[in-house]
Amino acid sequence: MPQSINTGPSLKREIAKQRPVQIFVFMKLSLSGSSLGILILINLGTVLGLSGIDLILPYIPNFKEVFPGSSPADAQWIIAFYVLGTSAGLLLFSFLSDRFDAIRLFSASLLCFAAISLLCIFSTHIYELVAYRFLQGISSSGAAVLAPGLIRGFFSSQGAMRAVSIMGSIESMVPAFAPLAGAYLADQFGWESSFLLTAISSLIVSLFLFTLQRKTGNTAKQKTIDSKKRTYKELFTNFLFLRYALSHVGVLGGLLIFVFSAPNLIVTYKKGAIDSFILLQILSVFTFFTFAQTSSYFVKKFGSEAVIVAGTTFASLSAVLFLVGAFFRLDDPVYLICYFVPINIGLGLRGGTGFVSALIAAGDNDARGSAFMILAVTLLSGGITGILSPFLEQGLGPIAIAMSLVVFPSMALVLIRKEIVVPTTG
């Protein structure tokens, strides 16, 4: 397996005291060159999976011209089926991860992702592309399932939490910059270029990952001896877990419902420019990133429960603003930015804390807890995006209603006072 770092008590204390930027110093000092390379490649593979949506997002309104006879609603399925494929892939890779070498499975998923990305280029009908996107989503989910466990193999306790947090911050920039790259590639080289870039990049990462894995040795297969004792039934009867998990799913799902529908809303039905969507994405991700970095300060000062409540309140404010804007037909891009910023503040504040609180509440069932939250978010956002696609011509109203239906229950959940789970933060 990849060379493990020393996880004795002294090193755990040292890692716990490190600031986020300093963790990379520990990574470099504590890991061999090959192991550090694997860790970087894992992060790159995860970023590629995330970019599968955002690279193509700016071009969604134009697919009706690429495939004559298709409608804007048909084009919306290109996003919805990728997300639904990701949902199916989460279940598939959760099953496979107990039976195969994790790094090899990760590498194989990237190889499949590259091959299917290449197939997308040769689509002759929009429904053919939609089918390929479903398969592409399945292959992309290998990273989401396998990356956290692989990272935990390099770190222990606080170190792993910090490493995941930092890599999550890097990945959070994907929605800001991937649409910019996708728009440029489509304008200069055509819509196929985004899929070609994804295919080539995934192939390179897969080959390097497989090569480095052979140098560091085989990774141990995950043990399933105790897994029979931990079931989803146990998880779903744990109210404290459900409180944190479902409120996290509602806030993140509400945000993604708008993001996935916004390009068609702005360009096709509001006759705006895709630049407005890109600007919206940049501002929103910058807001999220800023508040995500300051979240630990607020947790130390006010406690994790207060931060989760505050973050969910900001998300609910966004839902209210979207409803008001839809009612008064204030749906120009400048208004959309104003409505969208609060939910990004909210997710930045409560995202990491809420997610970790849910995992702590799950106890030894944290692996299933993590898989459930990712699956719930992808099913919720992908399913609702598909349902909304025929109704986007009616403007902001359907999106505002859908966001409210998932965000407001999150607010109700966090207002139910139960035992507080306090994640350790450095």
- Output the pTM of the full model: 0.75
pLDDT of residue 39: 73
One-letter amino acid of 343: I
- Confidence label for 216 from pLDDT (cuts 50, 70 and 90): low
Nearest CA-CA partner of 2 in 48, 43, 33, 46: 33
- Confidence label for 159 from pLDDT (cuts 50, 70 and 90): low
One-letter amino acid of 58: P
Quick one: DSSP state of residue 267?
A: I
| Least confident residue range of 15-19, 151-155, 161-165, 264-268 | 15-19
- Confidence label for 214 from pLDDT (cuts 50, 70 and 90): low
Nearest CA-CA partner of 150 in 137, 167, 135: 167
Give yes or no for residue 292 having a pLDDT over 80: yes
pLDDT of residue 27: 45
**E strand or H helix at 164, and its extent?**
helix 158-172
Dump pLDDT digits (tens) for 165-204.
566 556 656 766 788 888 889 989 999 999 999 999 999 9
Beta strands in 46-164 (DSSP E): none
pLDDT of residue 416: 87
Give yes or no for residue 30 having a pLDDT over 60: no
The structure tokens listed for 189 are 């080289």
List the domains of the chain with CATH numbers.
Answer: 10-219 (1.20.1250.20), 228-420 (1.20.1250.20)
- Give percent above pLDDT 70 in the chain: 78
| Least confident residue range of 198-212, 262-276, 355-369 | 355-369
Nearest CA-CA partner of 54 in 85, 83, 93: 83
| Orientation of helix 102-121 relative to helix 126-152, angle to 10° | 160
| Alpha helices for 31-71 (secondary structure H) | 33-54, 63-66
Dump pLDDT digits (tens) for 52-84.
888 998 899 999 889 998 988 899 999 999 988
